[in-house]
Structure 1
Amino acid sequence: MSNVGLQVRKAVPSIDSVVADYAVGYIQHVSNSTEDIVLAQQVNIDQEMNFIKELLVNAGGSVENVNSLTETIAKQLSSKLSDNMEKLALTGDTSKRLLDINILQNSSKRDINSSLALLSASNDIEHTGRKMESRVDKKKLEKQERKIAKKVAKRNNKFVQYEASKLLNAKKDADYDSFFLEINPLDFGSSAGKSKDIKIDNFDLYVGDGQRILSEASLTLAYGRRYGLVGQNGIGKSTLLRALSRRELNIPKHITILHVEQEIRGDDTPALQSVLDADVWRKSLLQEESKINERIAEIEKLRSEFDEESNEVKKLDNEREDLETHLQEVSEKLTEMESDKAESRAAGILFGLGFTKETQNLPTNQFSGGWRMRLSLARALFCQPDLLLLDEPSNMLDVPSITFLAKYLQGYKSTVLVVSHDRAFLNEVATDIIHQHSERLDYYRGANFDSFYATREERIKNQRREYENQMAYRKHLQEFIDKYRYNAAKAQEAQSRIKKLEKLPLLEPPEDDKVITFKFPEPDKLSPPILQMQDVTFGYSPEKLLIKSVNLDVQMDSRIAFVGGNGTGKTTLLKLLMEQLRPLSGFITRNGRLRIGYFAQHHVDAMDLTTSAVSWMSTAFPGKTDEEYRRHLGSFGITGSLGLQKMELLSGGQKSRVAFAALCLNQPHILILDEPSNHLDTQGLDALADALTNFKGGVLMVSHDVAIIDKVCNEIWISEDNTVTKFPGSIYDYKNHILERADIAGVVRKH
């Protein structure tokens, strides 16, 4: 396959160099595959050439020239393939052996079976069932792909959907096991003595559209510390976590990484088995152990068919010896990871996150999205990676589960990096805070969230004081210079001050966080009773009741928080109050003039994200001018052009602010809020808490955010044991009640 690069460039003179290198590398890899006795059986020349043909045509080549090129290459490959298939007929098919000792034992430390070797390799592209390695710079290839797409669209004089290289799409479609082993390759070598600290200096980080979120930043994570990553919505915290999880930043290979990013796909696998399967190392080692034992048993049978002194027996004995050596390594690795205790540890984690013994055996496809997110979290905790990355884990949990997670992480021996806006959670979990802002990372060592906040405020005050003092000093020097620069008697002094001015360090004014305020309109007065429940019982069937005999009285000054485990009826209670559901028995009475503002947990589902916030509000809540809608949105932090751009471009926190603005357009007397803190950053949470505290009407909320409950609510109602009752204490007393009742602290210590 000599001069293949020249042939490609002759066929497609305008081809970009990166795409040309990729095409040449692909063709050479296929050529090498035809020379391999095992891989030759898997090569499909027509499929390979069709892929190359499509790539080169999209890169600007004419169909005629590309067809001529691929036909020539196909003939050369077919000739090689034919020769090697003849060789295969003579030597036999070695690929059918379970463990081919000639492939696996190239060196004393490379004795791993072929399935694991393929999975742990740095494979980039999957094509016709085979993994193929590419050395193409993917960032450059992505850039070239965009250029090619524009050329194709221009040539066709219309917009076309350009299909990017399979090299770029491969990771998106990779299954969990393959991706896990690609990020965390299984290594039988000892990592003892290797530091698991992470230090990455002077790196830049960009989001997909080329926007820079970090500039010459340094990331330092000491092993065993728990870092809270904080910053405003949209600053790029999740992007940093994803870059770490994919090793796009330079993290040593011996450090294992796991990122809880999205819910698992539901199938027939029981929840407990799904957690066990998440540890791909353990799963793969157990499979390998089984295969090795099967092969050893097979060898014992084969030996009896040959003479004891024959060459065949010697070969089989050599193979068995190598297999037994590798089996010992596999067993040691399983012992090291305490494989025998895996099931009890997985069950303990699931129990702490709200899964009963019965639900642990249900298939994953029977769980809702929120519960599947919990499963993803359980899988990550079970794997115990060296670097655990968590992105807003409390958004998917209730107060009991958050309490368990905080206790669990307090005893976690490896490094944790968690993005969260939950102050109470960070206060319990974080040993250090990293503040991401202004394309940089600032470290607050030995700080939980409260101490970080206080230290940062003090730091900003000192910076402002230093900056103002210097500005005053600069002004004083400049005034003297301007006054006496041309005065002969004072010229020397003026020159001295000019030198002082030049030597002063340039100080940047301290950045002030943009102040965000929410404001709920003051409602008109209502006479009691406002909203009451009397002996209310509800269930979706009389045989399976969710709540029974609930009595609740809501007044204009009520500040009530509903807490309890997921599935205990909290949201159902809110829907009963909203008259979206009707009780099986009992009464719900409302003042005839009562207006309620309802914030749904999944409020985004009710929004038309293809329109702007102003357009959506004018359609859903007509009666005002666009200027009035913009002014109203501004009172919830949606200012300037934010109210006019498509809502799909807004962050989760900004969408929540639009929802808050919408719910109070009818000037409600009572606010009913289902998980209002989700997606809001620290400033948004502060603004919401202040607005709810100052609101002149009543507030009922379901929330997992302990800090906002503590700041806003003076009544805690618990949803458990099929009823809702008032708790005699604060939200922190309730957390202690959880630990005592479920003995979660003991579960955490045990597992």
Structure 2
Amino acid sequence: MAAYEAILTECFSSIDTEIIDYVNGLLEDGHDEIDTPDDLFEAIGIMLLQTDESKTEDDIKDICGRLYGIMNGSRDSNSPDQSHKRMLTAPVQMSLLGKEGEPLTQTKSIWIAKKENASQVDPKKLEKAEAKILKNKDRKGNVPKAKTNGAHDEASASQQFNRKDVKFDASGANRSYDIKIDNFDIAFGEKVLITGASIQLLAGRRYGFVGRNGLGKTTLLRMISKKSLKIPSHISVLHVEQEVHGDDTVALQSVLECDLKREALLQEEKDISNKLSANNAKCDGELSSRLTEIYHELEAMDAAKAPSRAGVILAGLGFTPKMQAAPTKEFSGGWRMRLALARALFSKPDLLLLDEPTNMLDMKAIIWLENYLQSWPTTILVVSHDRQFLNAIATDILSLHNQKIDTYRGNYEVFHKTREERLLAQQREFEAQQQYRDHIQVFIDKFRYNAKRASQVQSKLKILEKLPKLVPVEKESKVQFKFPECEKLSPPILMLDEVNFYYTKEKIIFKNICINANMDSRICIVGENGAGKTTLLKILLGNLDPVSGIRHVHRNLSIGYFSQHHVDQLAMGLSSLELMAERFPGMNSEVYRGKLGMYGVSGDLALRPVSSLSGGQKSRVAFALLGMKNPNFFILDEPTNHLDMETIEALGNALAKFQGGVVLVSHDERLIRMVCTELWVVRNGGVETLEGGIDEYKHIVEKELELNC
């Protein structure tokens, strides 16, 4: 401390002692905030310049350098047991100090004694210097760490049971296939997702389940499938969530194996036949009798038609005859998920739980699935954000909002209209009641102390007490996407000229394709899975080189590419803010927050580990990272997967306003109609433009399905 004071008094002949004390305290206590002489200059430079105006900025920097050198030397040399010692400016009488742990006996301590002369330093200078330190800490990019909580890893559910229903179910007499789950709560760690909710699923009806990302729709499906929420024990439940494990089992057999009863009967029939064959002429009457029973059971369950029924399902989901005979280990994750869906459709459980089934399908498979589910005999609960799909298959809609679940009759369009009318009526009723309450309250306030009107006032008070408590409509915050402004480029921007491409000469993917896209292009690419849509995107991106032909690209073109696997490639242990700082270092945390906020990732959501976010929230983070690159051309591969309807709407609006070009692969009809003005169909080794757009393509697909049937 004496060394610092010596330098300051040497360099400043009339420096105030309060400034010396402040600088001494800062240098001794502020090591963590001061890493360089420049940091020290930012903290105290202005104060020292104002102390002696004859000195230049370079002079003050030299003084700060000398002070920093002493501070840095003392920091390196101090041992743990010596670092707490300080030189005192007054003697201490040890006899007046209490024993360890006891208070001091003297009333005035040198540790808190103040000088009698008032400070001559402007307090604003000190405040300004301290603000500089805080600003310097923020400038270094201190990004808050992800909020970790072990409870995030698993959801929990609680439910209120009716004792009578439990006894009835345990007796085995319950034969109803209606499902009623009363008064249940679901939480994910410390976050309550659903509270005090009740749902009733009537047998044979198809329920669409909608709501914003992250509210708990998928979690509810998992709670039902794991029996964490109690449903009648005789009802079979199947949740299509995990992809099929790859092994040597062929795809068709993998589907057939779902019918456990049929498989068991066929195995038993095979075993009995082998035994009878081994006995030759000796006939076992008991075995023969059992074999006859097996044949009758197989005939009753139409077992002979099972392979053809499984083949129809696989074909509808896009499996060619060759693929149906291929081992499951040869399929990618997306195709194994399709296989899992095929197994579920074949087994026909009493309650089928589907979570975004259209994410893995092309438009042809989606149309087939819509038609197939319309005649589904048992109960379905499906989470989906595809409006057209829900319009086609749903008989009822469950809406998750504000931790509650409301049920609406009809498909999505009917639900949307009914909900708007219901919310409008609720708001009007609330406002009317408020006016009535205000009118009564005016009377009460006016005559509260009037003895003649006492009985009337009491009557009015009772009226207020009896009025039901209504609440105003809570409007959900509007989701907004905002892509950054970009540089306009003159055409040609991106062009393929007579391009040929193949991985092997035996299978040509593209032959002599000629396509181009400009800054005002809004192009949607459609086609069956395996036709080459993703390959075409990779050629446009330059990730694959044409076998022949030319790819023209503008020298200033900056492409933002969103792939189906973007979400899977995020570091799940980091928060969204930490991801931003890792990918784009050197910026203030507020800059990262601002960028994330443009895509609906704000508040505590930005601090949560990515692993704890819903699929849609992860997609928003991926879009925020994409926007940081300021692209002037977007190539998007299935961008709507896992996004809720409000976010899809926001994405569509943002793409429509985007000043650059857009090429996207999507099966979401709503997004295509909002954004795209041009449709490219990939098929038969070529790329063709359909003048009639999405309507013409759907008409072509429906005709093909009719012919296949």
SS where residue 418 of structure 1 aligns? strand
Structure 2 match to 1:419: 383
Deviations 1:366-424 (A, max 9, x none): 00000000111111111122222211101111111111111111122222211111111
> Counterpart amino acid of 2:459?
S
SS where residue 451 of structure 2 aligns? coil
Structure 1 match to 2:42: none
Q: Deviation of residue 483 (structure 1)? A: 2.7
SS where residue 321 of structure 2 aligns? coil
Q: 1:401 and 2:381 equivalent?
A: no
Q: Deviation of residue 329 (structure 1)? A: 5.4
| Aligned pairs, number | 539
Superposed counterparts of 1:463-478, under 5 Å: 463-478=426-441
> Counterpart amino acid of 1:481?
I
Structure 1 match to 2:84: none
Does the C-alpha gap of structure 1 residues 361 and 201 become closer, same or farther in structure 2, counting only changes over 3 Å? closer
Q: 1:666 and 2:629 equivalent?
A: yes
Q: Deviation of residue 201 (structure 1)? A: 4.2
Give yes or no for contact 1:201–1:216 (8 Å, CA) kept in 2: no
Give yes or no for contact 1:562–1:716 (8 Å, CA) kept in 2: yes
Q: TM-score, normalised by structure 1?
A: 0.68
Deviations 1:657-704 (A, max 9, x none): 111112122322211101100011112111111111121221110112
> Counterpart amino acid of 2:298?
L
Q: 2:263 aligns with which of 266, 283, 286?
A: 283
Q: In structure 2, what is the Cα distance between the partners aligned to 1:283 and 1:452?
A: 42
Does the C-alpha gap of structure 1 residues 208 and 664 become closer, same or farther in structure 2, counting only changes over 3 Å? closer
> Counterpart amino acid of 2:349?
P
Q: 1:525 and 2:476 equivalent?
A: no
Structure 1 unaligned blocks of 5 or more: 1-160, 162-190, 304-315
Give yes or no for contact 2:181–2:230 (8 Å, CA) kept in 1: no
Q: In structure 1, what is the Cα distance between the partners aligned to 2:293 and 2:184?
A: 41
Q: Which has the higher contact order (CA 8 A, sep 6+)?
A: 2
Q: 1:376 and 2:335 equivalent?
A: no
Q: In structure 1, what is the Cα distance between the partners aligned to 2:333 and 2:592?
A: 34
Structure 1 match to 2:198: 218
Q: In structure 1, what is the Cα distance between the partners aligned to 2:336 and 2:215?
A: 27
> Counterpart amino acid of 1:514?
S
Q: In structure 2, what is the Cα distance between the partners aligned to 1:251 and 1:331?
A: 34
Does the C-alpha gap of structure 1 residues 222 and 338 become closer, same or farther in structure 2, counting only changes over 3 Å? same
Q: 1:651 and 2:614 equivalent?
A: yes
Structure 2 match to 1:242: 222
Does the C-alpha gap of structure 1 residues 214 and 626 become closer, same or farther in structure 2, counting only changes over 3 Å? closer
Give yes or no for contact 1:612–1:647 (8 Å, CA) kept in 2: yes
Q: Deviation of residue 212 (structure 1)? A: 4.6
Q: In structure 1, what is the Cα distance between the partners aligned to 2:573 and 2:380?
A: 37
Q: In structure 2, what is the Cα distance between the partners aligned to 1:517 and 1:332?
A: 61
Does the C-alpha gap of structure 1 residues 255 and 349 become closer, same or farther in structure 2, counting only changes over 3 Å? same
Q: In structure 2, what is the Cα distance between the partners aligned to 1:357 and 1:517?
A: 45
Structure 2 match to 1:436: 400
Q: 1:257 and 2:237 equivalent?
A: yes
Q: 1:410 aligns with which of 370, 374, 384?
A: 374
Give yes or no for contact 1:481–1:498 (8 Å, CA) kept in 2: yes
Q: Percent of counterpart pairs with the same letter?
A: 49
Give yes or no for contact 1:200–1:250 (8 Å, CA) kept in 2: no
Q: In structure 2, what is the Cα distance between the partners aligned to 1:650 and 1:218?
A: 25
Give yes or no for contact 1:198–1:251 (8 Å, CA) kept in 2: no
Does the C-alpha gap of structure 1 residues 407 and 295 become closer, same or farther in structure 2, counting only changes over 3 Å? same
Structure 2 match to 1:353: 317
Q: 1:268 aligns with which of 244, 248, 251?
A: 248
Q: In structure 1, what is the Cα distance between the partners aligned to 2:347 and 2:266?
A: 15
SS where residue 208 of structure 2 aligns? strand
Q: In structure 2, what is the Cα distance between the partners aligned to 1:380 and 1:467?
A: 46
Q: Deviation of residue 735 (structure 1)? A: 1.6
Give yes or no for contact 1:200–1:249 (8 Å, CA) kept in 2: no
Structure 2 match to 1:684: 647
SS where residue 743 of structure 1 aligns? helix
SS where residue 417 of structure 1 aligns? strand
Structure 1 match to 2:673: 710
Q: Deviation of residue 268 (structure 1)? A: 0.4
Structure 2 match to 1:209: 189
Q: In structure 1, what is the Cα distance between the partners aligned to 2:595 and 2:692?
A: 37
Q: In structure 1, what is the Cα distance between the partners aligned to 2:550 and 2:200?
A: 59
Deviations 1:321-355 (A, max 9, x none): xx677656544443333111011111111111111
Superposed counterparts of 1:296-315, under 5 Å: none
Does the C-alpha gap of structure 1 residues 207 and 732 become closer, same or farther in structure 2, counting only changes over 3 Å? farther
Superposed counterparts of 1:74-153, under 5 Å: none
SS where residue 358 of structure 1 aligns? helix
Structure 1 match to 2:475: 512
Q: Deviation of residue 436 (structure 1)? A: 2.1
Structure 2 match to 1:696: 659
SS where residue 503 of structure 2 aligns? strand
Q: In structure 2, what is the Cα distance between the partners aligned to 1:467 and 1:591?
A: 58
Give yes or no for contact 1:398–1:566 (8 Å, CA) kept in 2: yes
> Counterpart amino acid of 2:610?
M
Deviations 1:524-543 (A, max 9, x none): 22111111111112222344
Structure 1 match to 2:458: 495
The worse-fitting range, judged by mean Cα deviation, of 465-474 and 715-724 is 465-474
Structure 2 match to 1:232: 212
Q: In structure 1, what is the Cα distance between the partners aligned to 2:566 and 2:253?
A: 33
> Counterpart amino acid of 1:449?
Y
Deviations 1:222-253 (A, max 9, x none): 22221111112222222222233344444334
SS where residue 489 of structure 1 aligns? helix
Give yes or no for contact 2:510–2:686 (8 Å, CA) kept in 1: yes
> Counterpart amino acid of 1:347?
G
Give yes or no for contact 1:555–1:698 (8 Å, CA) kept in 2: yes
Structure 1 match to 2:516: 553
Q: Deviation of residue 194 (structure 1)? A: 7.8
Give yes or no for contact 2:182–2:198 (8 Å, CA) kept in 1: yes
Does the C-alpha gap of structure 1 residues 247 and 325 become closer, same or farther in structure 2, counting only changes over 3 Å? farther
Give yes or no for contact 2:187–2:194 (8 Å, CA) kept in 1: no
Give yes or no for contact 1:444–1:452 (8 Å, CA) kept in 2: yes
Q: 1:619 aligns with which of 582, 603, 627?
A: 582
Q: 1:540 aligns with which of 500, 503, 510?
A: 503
The worse-fitting range, judged by mean Cα deviation, of 474-483 and 401-410 is 474-483
Does the C-alpha gap of structure 1 residues 485 and 288 become closer, same or farther in structure 2, counting only changes over 3 Å? farther
Q: Deviation of residue 584 (structure 1)? A: 0.9
Give yes or no for contact 1:601–1:676 (8 Å, CA) kept in 2: yes
Q: Deviation of residue 211 (structure 1)? A: 5.2
Q: In structure 2, what is the Cα distance between the partners aligned to 1:605 and 1:238?
A: 18
Q: Deviation of residue 742 (structure 1)? A: 4.0
Q: In structure 2, what is the Cα distance between the partners aligned to 1:213 and 1:497?
A: 40
Give yes or no for contact 1:431–1:448 (8 Å, CA) kept in 2: yes
Q: 2:525 aligns with which of 559, 562, 568?
A: 562
SS where residue 452 of structure 2 aligns? coil
Q: In structure 2, what is the Cα distance between the partners aligned to 1:577 and 1:392?
A: 29
